[in-house]
Chain A
Amino acid sequence: MDLRGWAEIALTLGLSVGVAWPLGLYMARIWAGETTWLTPVLNPVERGIYRVLGVRPEQSQGWKGYSFSVIAFSVAGFVLLYALLRLQGFLPLNPAGFGNLDPHLAFNVAVSFVTNTNWQSYGGETTMSLLSQMAGLAVQNFTSAAAGLAIAAAAARAFAGDREVGLGNFWVDLVRITLYVLLPLSIVVALALVATGVPQTLHAAVTVTGLEGAQQTLALGPVASQEAIKQIGTNGGGFFNANSAHPFENPNPLSNLIEAVSITALGFATFIAFGRMARARKEAASLVIVAFLLVAAAAVAIYGLENQTVPGLLKAGVEAGQNLEGKEYRFGTAASALWSALTTGASNGSVNAMHESFMPLSGGIQMFLIQLGEILPGGVGSGLYGMLVMALLAVFVAGLMVGRTPEYLGKKVEAAEIQYAMLAVLILPLAILGFSALAAVLPAALSSLLTDGPHGLSEILYAYSSAGGNNGSAFAGLTAATPWWDTTLGIAMLLGRFGYIVPVMAILGSLAAKPRLAPTAGTLPASGRLFSGLLLGVILVLGGLQFFPALALGPLAEHFQLLASLRP
């Protein structure tokens, strides 16, 4: 562990929250429908879209209408993307002449991008036509992120309101967030990335002659624009198979810093926007602090674990100083460790190093961050509502302990909210543990594993955690493009997205209809050290209780086996 590594971690973490602050305040204004300096340019576009879609922007939807719109929009997106992938061989902008995708792969990819997971069962540069990348995947990168952020806006309205029925208009939120937040932001980030050397072109590939005289084909494409929305929209699906470890996606430490900051920036910004709109800045700051502390602690722990000689080498008498297997030398252990924590904490799923090659405990931490519910700060929008569910549960148990019907941000937390919150919380263990247990015994699933023993189990657990948590990163070491894996991972992604969204929307509907109560001396404060500590405890204990046995069989067993093997 050296000073440079720590400084790199501190700078990146500091920047991600620092950037999030103004971004969040700006986004709150977009949610609220206020005018900004972009309004003169974008308002005509916005109006035009409403006219084409037949949306009456002033019409507020109840929770059912809002949810229905979210789902209808996602279903439409899925159908379009699925069709595009199945037919890409017949469609233009296919310079490399790739064929149509298999049904199970197309299902998996379509679900993956619609649910903001961006799990990739394929290698981008060897499977996807430029049309599929740009009109299919890139479009979903925007819209799935915007849908998540729209629900976050609805959540803010639910808390801000006093006996309201409407949560806002999904179509308006979708359009405004895309136009005013995601598009400008991705243009800025894409240009910055181009400046660091990331390619942006419609050429499919160039052929070069290497130093040894061999001919080499280098895949190219509109990488920078993909890369920008991939990070800020917590999508994570890379243009190339190697994702952000690929030198064209992430050429140098500067591009790495820009991308790493982009991973969590909009996630944290969502919390801040929520705080502003729900008139609960201090409370939202507490949520930011909790997410920040957990993800920072994970980064520090992983860095500590990676910045040591691999025990096997140590035994052989080699003093390497750090574990560089699976990491890019241009990033080193600090940037790789930090990225792995950010991408798993934020439901992003892009990688700049191979998670499988980390130390077993590091892999365990990465998995655990996903299993905590992708709330640190989670996917854009989804991280906020996931964190709110946790806050409701924390407030419920603790609120009873101060002798009042628990309330959060002035809204009473009662049986209906708890019922839906538990329903939402159930989804993740069901998707992760349920499918993992099946995969762990089914030969059709096991044949995809490249390793056995605890590490093999880790591969299974990681895959379903990634899918269920809508993360999208892969542990690697698993051949996932088979009917079993494509299908079950797809189902896990659907459960993780919509199995969570529907109960959350029900909670929002119920909360919105309640009066917003004024706090008194007897009200549990939802900010400050005490509450943050409480929320932290609830997240860790609840997550730990669900996944500890599974983690014990996977990464923990591997870790202890490794330690045992070192004993003389």
Chain B
Amino acid sequence: MALSKTARLDRGLLTRAALDAGRKLNPRCLLANPVILVTEGVAALATLSAAGQITAGEPAGFALQIAGWLWATVLFANFAESIAEGRGKAAADSLRASRVTTRAKVITDDQIIFTPAHELQPGMVVLVEAGDLIPADGEIVEGIASVNEAAITGESAPVIRESGGDRSAVTGGTTVVSDWLRVRVTAAAGSSFLDRMIALVEGAGRRKTPNELALAVLLAGLSLIFLIAVVTLLGLGRYSGVAIPLVVLGALFVTLIPTTIGGLLSAVGIAGMNRLLKFNVLALSGRAVEAAGDIDTLLLDKTGTITFGNRMASEVIPLRGIAADTALRAALMSSLGDETPEGRSIVSFAEGQGISAVRPDGAITIPFSAQTRLSGLEAGPTVWRKGAVDAVLKQLGITERDTPRDFAAAVDRIARSGGTPLAVSENDRLIGVIHLKDVIKPGVKERFQDLRRMGVRTVMITGDNSVTAAAIASEAGVDDFLAEATPEDKLRLMRAEQAKGRLVAMCGDGANDAPALAQADVGVAMQSGTQAAREAANLIDLDSDPTKLIEIVEVGKQMLITRGALTTFSIANDVAKYFAIVPALFVGALPALGALNVMQLASPQSAILSAVIFNALIIVALIPLALKGVRYRPVGAARLLSRNLLVYGLGGLVAPFIGIKLIDLLVSTLGII
């Protein structure tokens, strides 16, 4: 199951969201959203007031319409939240389908007992054989097997899991494809990874993130201020001979309080989590996603993140008197027996240079082994070898002092540039040097530039010596590096950064990464990593792609930007609403205030109704933005702010003037009022 596929809007989702919006009218569902709760209260009051008018035999058309649109405001806000939740629920449903009700083979002292999976306790050891579902999250204590983790990651190619090392964690609900494992259960039923994932995706038990909380406080405070402004109008109005009907007062209040952001706030949060899911990243808390947007320093492991995991051949240097093709051919032939990634990279490099990889008939392979550290090929009288420089020299019986000068120079140059030299020989003489180097992943440099513009400093961490590290760091364009790093160094560096008041993110997979992951403000564990790492992290990357951190940072920023933009828009809108409603309220008693009716709205009633309708419709209009998020561009804070202020601040000032005017035209031409 690929999570991203479920995140599309379809009719079923919309229907479900619409029904849900109605269900959420229950005030208890709105407790977490005071602005909308208050709106509902006002809607109820307006309805009562309209009912009172009807029973008194007065015309109640206006009051009824206002009440109707106030209810619509609440429904639209609920609908926004339901749509966002609906996407998550759809994802959760397909996850739930993969939850297992299997029987586990629990290993006791001398026998195997079949136990239902939901009765497993942490600490029990179970046997899982080919074809079995893994019954619970756990750590492999013995064995090696290939496991299909498609249920979690959506990736159907099986992965290797083995005891010890960094690939020892298994997840309940995944399937053992070959071999067998003994697994110590680490999570009780109900608290497994899958369970947590379902709960998270569904948004159940979603807690407000710190910024969301602060924003909610701001919105509540603004609502209180407007409550004061509106209620005191009763007294000030009476002095001025203005009688304000309750319905109108309620309408004014609702249009002023920030219903737009209030209605969309939780949708923005849920949508942000869903966006992460699209990237196949699972956030264990919303807080972590938000913190990702705040990151100042990114610690990145070199291997796998900045460079491909393996060194690759980048050139073959022929020694004096040797044709380039001869050296290339020797390198290729000698590497046919080397199935390591390095060996394969030599073959494909030579092929790329136009050398044919056809094996001579009857050739005998000298396979690569960790002992000999070389490989080769015997084709009749010719023997080609390639391997670590000292290994090849030893094989040929040459001491280092006797090597040709250009050979020594090439080896030296390669080593100094941070690469690894390999010697190539034909029969009993050296003919060339292969340059193996860490190849920087394409596009990495640009991403680091983006990060720098975002204000994020990148630090590369590597076990290489500082010469190699410096070469790679400058090529990749990271801001700093830590060479010959041990896990303790990593932790120390992180603490030092944090002491400077910086927020640090890192990703890791190994068990020895766990302390640093726990110390990091944002820790991303690879799904393929160890249980310890996964426990310590607050984000899990299901694709096990360390560069994901960059996307995570962007999603975190996007969430904050969207909230800020909608808040700014919401507050800016109020200016126009005042110019619609205030003259309408007072023009009866103080005709001179008609001058404030800058929009030339048709009548006081149509002005008020238009403002209320605009206030409701703008929520619907902004749902797509809330779900998609405001686009984030890594251009630096000042430019980003000026752009967003222009669009959402100035736009927020202007848009309602136009919108309310248009609605008023419609309302008055249709004769609704």
Contact residues of A with B, CB < 8 Å?
162, 393, 396-405, 410, 413-415, 417-419, 421-423, 425-426, 429-430, 433-434, 436-438, 440-441, 446, 454, 456-457, 460, 515-518, 520-525, 528, 530, 534, 537, 541, 544-550, 552-553, 556-557, 560-561, 563-564
- With both chains docked as a complex, state the minimum distance between the C-beta of B48 and any C-beta of chain A, in angstroms: 24
Query: How many angstroms between the C-alpha atoms of A405 and B217 in the bound complex?
Result: 15
Q: Are B571 and A541 in contact (CB under 8 A)?
A: yes
Residue B496 CB within 8 A of the other chain: no
23 A-B pairs in the complex with CB atoms less than 8 angstroms apart: A397-B567, A399-B564, A400-B211, A401-B561, A401-B565, A405-B210, A405-B211, A422-B218, A422-B222, A438-B235, A518-B296, A518-B500, A518-B502, A541-B575, A549-B236, A550-B232, A552-B582, A553-B236, A553-B590, A557-B240, A560-B592, A560-B595, A560-B596
What's the interface size class on B, roughly?
35 or more
* Contact flag A553-B568 (CB < 8 Å), given A400-B215, A403-B561, A403-B640: no
User: Chain A residue with minimal CB distance to B562?
Assistant: A400
Q: Which residues of A contact B279 (CB under 8 A)?
A: none
Bound-state Cα–Cα, A240 to B228, Å? 37
**B467 interface residue per 8 A CB criterion:** no
Q: Does B89 contact A (CB under 8 A)?
A: no
Within 415-471 of B, Cβ neighbours of A (below 8 Å) are at 452-457
Report the stretch among B11-19, B486-494, B644-652 that lies at the interface.
Answer: B644-652
B238 and A441 within 8 A (CB) = yes
> Is there contact, CB below 8 Å, between B501 and A561?
no
**Which residues of chain B are within 8 angstroms of A520 by Cβ–Cβ distance?**
296, 455-457
Main DSSP-derived SS at the A contact region: helix
Which residues in A have their C-beta under 8 angstroms from that of B648?
Answer: 401
Closest partner residue, chain A, to B644 (CB atom) = A401
Q: Which residues of B contact A460 (CB under 8 A)?
A: 239
Residues of A within 8 A of B452 (CB): 521
* Complex alpha-carbon distance, A396 and B571, angstroms: 13
How far is it, in angstroms, between the C-alpha of A517 and the C-alpha of B596 when the chains are bound? 46
Contacts of A430 in B (CB 8 A): 228
List of A residues within 8 angstroms of B131 by Cβ: none
Flag if B228 contacts A403 (CB, 8 Å): no
- Say yes or no for B558: interface residue by CB 8 A criterion: yes
- Chain B nearest Cβ from A564, distance in angstroms: 5
Nearest 5 interchain pairs by C-beta: A522-B455, A400-B564, A422-B221, A403-B557, A437-B235
Give the residue name and chain of the B residue nearest to A437 (CB): B235
B237 touches A (CB below 8 Å): yes
CB atoms of A404 and B214 under 8 A apart: no
In the complex, the chain A residue whose C-beta lies closest to that of B571 is A541
**CB distance A418 to B214 under 8 Å?**
yes
Once bound together, how far apart are the Cα atoms of A556 and B229, in whole Å?
17
* B198-206, B326-334, B362-370, B631-639 - the one binding chain A: B631-639
Quick check: B638 and A537 within 8 Å, CB to CB?
Answer: no
Nearest neighbor of A433 in chain B, beta-carbon distance: B232
Say whether B501 contacts A410, CB under 8 Å: yes
Query: Which residues, 313 to 367 on B, are CB-close (under 8 Å) to A?
Result: none
Please judge, given known A-B contacts A429-B229, A436-B235, A440-B236, whether A557 and B290 are in contact too, CB under 8 Å.
no
Given contacts A415-B213, A523-B637, contact A401 B645 (CB under 8 A): yes
From known contacts A404-B557, A415-B210, A549-B582, infer whether A521 and B593 are also in contact, taking CB-CB under 8 Å: no
Contact (Cβ within 8 A) B229 A534:
no
B217 touching A545, Cβ below 8 Å: no
Q: Other than the known A437-B233, A440-B236, A546-B228, what 20 A-B pairs have Cβ atoms closer than 8 Å?
A: A396-B214, A398-B645, A400-B560, A401-B641, A403-B558, A403-B640, A404-B637, A414-B211, A422-B222, A429-B229, A520-B457, A521-B455, A522-B455, A524-B638, A534-B641, A541-B574, A552-B582, A560-B594, A560-B596, A564-B592
Complex Cα gap A399–B563 (Å): 10
A534 touches B578 (CB 8 A): no
B297: min CB distance to chain A, Å: 9
Whether B218 and A396, one on each chain, are in contact in the complex, defined by CB atoms closer than 8 angstroms, is yes
Check A415 against B214 for contact (C-beta < 8 Å): yes
Chain A residues contacting B585 (CB-CB under 8 Å) are: 549
Contact A414 B502 (CB under 8 A): no
With both beta carbons as reference points, the residue of chain A lying nearest to B653 in the complex is identified as A541
Q: CB-defined interface of B291-323 with A at 8 Å, one 1/0 digit per residue? A: 001101000000000000000000000000000
Which of A400, A521, A522 meets B567, CB within 8 Å?
A: A400
CB distance from B562 to the nearest CB of A (A): 9
Complex interface: chain B residues within 8 A of A396 (CB): 214, 218
Q: Are A436 and B232 in contact (CB under 8 A)?
A: yes
B638 to chain A, nearest CB (A): 6
Do residues B561 and A402 form an inter-chain contact, with CB atoms below 8 A? Answer: yes
Chain B nearest CB, measured from A555 CB (Å)? 12
The answer to whether B593 touches A440 (Cβ under 8 A) is no
Contact partner, A434, options B232, B457, B649, Cβ 8 Å: B232
- B586 in the interface (beta carbon within 8 A): yes
B234 close to chain A: CB less than 8 A: yes
Q: Does B556 contact A (CB under 8 A)?
A: yes
Q: How far is the CA of A422 from the CA of B226 in the complex (A)?
A: 12
Give the distance in Å from the alpha carbon of A438 to the alpha carbon of B236 in the complex.
8
Q: Which of A441, A454, A520, A557 has the most CB of B within 10 A?
A: A520
Chain B residues near A401: list those with CB within 8 A: 560-561, 564-565, 568, 640-641, 644-645, 648
Query: Contact between A437 and B236 (Cβ–Cβ < 8 Å)?
Result: yes
Which residues of B have CB within 8 Å of A541? 571-572, 574-575
CA distance A119 to B163 in the complex (A): 81
Counting CB contacts under 8 A, is B31 at the interface? no
Whether B642 sits at the interface, judged by CB under 8 Å, is yes
In the complex, chain A residues whose CB is within 8 Å of the CB of B455: 404, 520-523
Closest residue of chain B to A403, judged by CB? B557
**Does B571 contact A162, Cβ atoms closer than 8 Å?**
no
Task: Given A401-B645, A440-B235, A520-B296, verify A515-B240 contact (CB < 8 Å).
Answer: no
When the two chains form their complex, are residues A556 and B225 in contact, meaning their CB atoms are under 8 A apart? Answer: no
B221's nearest neighbour on chain A, judged by CB, is A422
